[in-house]
Amino acid sequence: MKIAVVGIGSLGQHHARVYSQIDGIELFGICDIDKKRADKIAGKLNTQTFTDYKELLGRVHAVSIVVPTPLHYQVAKDFLEANIHCLVEKPISNTVAHAEELSNIANKKNLVLQIGHIERFNAAVHEAQKHIKLPKFIEAQRLGPYDPRTSHIGVVMDLMIHDIDIVLTLVNSKIIQMDVIGAKVLSKNEDIANVRLKFENGCVANISASRVSMQKFRKIRIFQDDAYISLDYAGQDLKIYKKKSKIVSSMSDIEIIKPKVKTHEPLRKELEHFINCIKTGHSPLVTGEHGRDALEVAIEILQKL
């Protein structure tokens, strides 16, 4: 299977690295407008470089699209229309209409369109889902230091969208209320934001994202009738605090479970899943429709901000 990577920035280079390590895959080429950088990476991975992605049309089976978000729609559309399977980094596009168009093209042509919401492939998230049932309250926090490279977008599209996707997956209910607050601190876009979502089934989710922090902090906590689940995305670590009986009179009535999580590189799992879906014809874990749903919520948050 011949696969190429379009966009060899800080994330795209890792897509290329992982593909080069997977058996049965030929990293056909990498594409970037910065030829000097692309040549350097291509030399390490024993592949070829392109500066125009259209040169790849008709020459590869699949592609990872890791270009800036405003370019996602046109690049993905060109590949899909050329019958090439696509993994598009999050967010799927700039508009819901474009997201729906990409999904429709993929469905019509029976192509895999997978969206790069990488936390779905986090080992701790996968393990936690076995224990989550009817969450009542969810708190997600994703904080980190400022990176000028992402100043062209705010934290909602850059960071918060990961947790939006996870929360929508865990709750699986319609949003009926949204309260938003945020601020510009270091850039022209929101650098810190908080949203409180209320769902039709009664669950409430509080999601925070910030790039005004000196340290990375990426955690989610899920509260339900019988348990409290704490998950550290970065450390792929999971703890479950569960009631032993209906009435808790002391801490001895709470069982602390620490499931054995077999950690792995989420990106490798994500790309292996993409390849497997192409081979088997199965629908990906994160479809274009999932990407559209997360984008729709993110856009509404930005409108309210």
What's the Rg (C-alpha) of the chain?
20
pLDDT at 248: 84
User: Is residue 133 located within the same domain as residue 155?
Assistant: yes
How many separate domains does the chain show?
Answer: 2
Residues 144 and 132 both lie in one domain: yes
Same domain membership, residue 140 and residue 174: yes
pLDDT of residue 186: 94
Q: Which helix (H) or strand (E) holds 139?
A: strand 137-143
Block mean pLDDT (10 aa), the chain, length 305: 97 98 97 97 98 98 96 98 98 97 98 98 96 96 91 93 98 97 96 98 98 94 96 96 86 91 96 98 98 98 97
**The whole model's pTM is what?**
0.94
User: What is the spatial distance between Cα 60 and Cα 5, in angstroms, rounded to a whole number?
Assistant: 10
Residue 24 inside a domain? The answer is yes
Is residue 80, in this structure, part of any structural domain at all?
yes
Q: Residue 42 has what pLDDT?
A: 98
147 lies in the same domain as 258: yes
Whether 250 and 274 map to the same domain: the answer is no
What is the structure's pLDDT at 244?
87
Peptide bond into 91 cis (omega under 30): yes
The CA angle 43-49-55, to the nearest 5 degrees, is 165
Amino acid in the structure at residue 183: A
Tell me: do 170 and 83 sit in the same domain.
no
Are both 278 and 251 inside the same structural domain?
no
What CATH number corresponds to the domain at position 64?
3.40.50.720
Q: Give me the pLDDT at residue 206, please.
A: 98
- Whole-number Å distance between alpha carbons of 51 and 84: 19
Read off the CATH number of the domain in which 130 is found.
Answer: 3.30.360.10
CA atoms of 261 and 180, how far apart (whole Å): 34
Q: Write out the residue range of the structural domain in which residue 82 sits.
A: 2-118+267-285
Burial class (CB in 10 A: 0-12, 13-18, 19+), 252: exposed
